[in-house]
Amino acid sequence: MHAGAPITPGSVTVVIPALNESGNICELLSRLADSLPERLPDCEVVFVDDSTDDTPAVAEMVGRDCPFPVTVIHRDTPAGGLGGAVVEGLRTADTEWVVVMDADLQHPPSLVPELVETGTHKGADLVVASRYTGGGSRAGLAGAYRVAVSRGATWLTKGLFPRALRGISDPMSGFFAIRRDAVRNHRGSGALRPLGHKILLELAVRSRPRAVTEVPLVFQNRYAGESKSTVREGMRFLAHLVRLRTASPVGRALVFGLIGLTGFVPNLAALAVLTSAGMHYVPAEIVANQFGVLWNFLLIELLLFRERRRHRHWADRLGRFGLLTNADLLLRIPLITLFVGRLGMGVFTATAFALVVTFVLRFAGTELLVYLPRRGRRAAGRRGKIEEA
């Protein structure tokens, strides 16, 4: 197919999440009008708007004169941030391809046809516009600080999700094309729970598109308005990374174990204070262990089971977790005795086995007894999913 020819097949919805971008809308739609109709004749643009200014009114007014349909969906409650806006756009699209881009013109509209064309020619499910592939550039990132943050976030995500992000050099990109079926037909697509504006990471990890390719992106300067990247967004991004990484039982078990290791710090600190104050080491061990239990509980609440906290009152969760953790101490000694006396293991080997067994039991007990929804709530949740379907 020569450059400039229409792409067939390939009906396309361009989803643009917007938050107070009224100064960019006219220029954005003008550039899209210059780029889309000739090469993507079957296309539409959908703004999913969370603005508090006149962005939706501007988009509707300018959209009347565009050579393609322009739809504006305004959300009074911006659930999930800009990523949630993209998911809303994905739900409304009924085209073969969905292209996601920002409204600030840092993503050049002229690249939209190339994303779809590349995916069509290569049979890819996901095409990412990357600043870090050959020919790409991050020139539009303002200042060394933003460059460093972007690079650090990329390395972190690539390190945490090496398999899911294989072939994606720029998982922080907000500019990509994805086949709608790669999202809708995947069994986990209904579980998309974006937080903030890094929706590509969410789609790559949860939907696992079959084939991925990239095109170079020369990142542009913002046309008008202010950047939405803030420290708060950065913290939301880190929280989202933890949530994605702990979506599987193996991931949760790993983080559960790491949290458990950090509990030695308050435990040992409390033990040192209590024994130096004259308390006998045996009761001091028991009391100090409770400091470790409380520390672990707080981290588990914040990092591991944040979304399940609503199923039980916090006092109920803390009491159950405390019982499980202290029961671990009571179980470990009999297990070591059993392994040494009956199975002939050495003390260190028996201790290691006992630690593994009690860790598995503690993790399973925490999931099943502390954070598993009550039966009535699980049934209500299943009914809700059926009704949504």
Q: What is the pLDDT of residues 196-255, one digit of tens each?
A: 567 888 888 888 888 999 999 998 887 776 665 555 666 667 666 777 776 667 777 777
Q: Which of 189, 213, 245 is the last residue of a domain?
A: 245
Q: Name the E strands within 96-235.
A: 97-100, 126-130, 176-179, 212-216
Q: What is the pLDDT of residue 127?
A: 96
Q: Is residue 71 domain-resident?
A: yes
Q: Is residue 387 domain-resident?
A: no
Residue range 282-315, pLDDT digits in tens: 688 778 878 888 998 888 887 777 767 777 888 8
Q: Is residue 261 domain-resident?
A: yes
pLDDT greater at residue 328 or residue 123: 123
Tell me, yes or no, whether 214 and 267 share the same domain: no
Tell me, yes or no, whether 88 and 128 share the same domain: yes
Q: Is residue 137 domain-resident?
A: yes
Query: Quick one: which of 5, 4, 6, 62 has its CA closest to 16?
Result: 62
Tell me, yes or no, whether 202 and 267 share the same domain: no
Helices marked H in 67-198: 81-92, 112-122, 143-160, 180-184
End-to-end CA distance of the chain: 39
Q: What is the pLDDT of residue 187?
A: 42
By the 8 A CB rule, do 82 and 17 touch?
yes
Length of the chain in residues, anyone? 389
- Find the angle CA(95)-CA(98)-CA(101) to the nearest 5 degrees: 150
Q: What is the pLDDT of residue 197?
A: 61
Tell me, yes or no, whether 224 and 324 share the same domain: no
- pLDDT, average across residues 110-114: 94
Q: What is the pLDDT of residue 101?
A: 94
Q: Which of 193, 225, 245 is the last residue of a domain?
A: 245
CA gap 1, 338 in Å, rounded: 72
pTM above 0.75, yes or no: no
Tell me, yes or no, whether 198 and 50 share the same domain: yes
Q: Is residue 389 domain-resident?
A: no
Tell me, yes or no, whether 144 and 283 share the same domain: no
Nearby residues of 206 by Cβ (< 8 Å), 6 or more positions away:
186, 188, 189, 191, 192, 244, 247
**Domain count of the chain?**
2
- pLDDT, average across residues 164-171: 87
User: For the domain that residue 214 is a member of, what is the CATH number?
Assistant: 3.90.550.10
Tell me, yes or no, whether 268 and 192 share the same domain: no
Q: Name the E strands within 183-281.
A: 212-216
Tell me, yes or no, whether 101 and 137 share the same domain: yes
Q: Which of 97-111, 136-150, 361-375 has the lowest mean pLDDT?
A: 136-150
- pLDDT, average across residues 67-92: 88
Q: Which domain range does residue 106 map to? A: 12-245
Tell me, yes or no, whether 59 and 121 share the same domain: yes
Q: Which of 245, 261, 286 is the last residue of a domain?
A: 245
Tell me, yes or no, whether 156 and 131 share the same domain: yes
Tell me, yes or no, whether 52 and 148 share the same domain: yes
Tell me, yes or no, whether 230 and 306 share the same domain: no
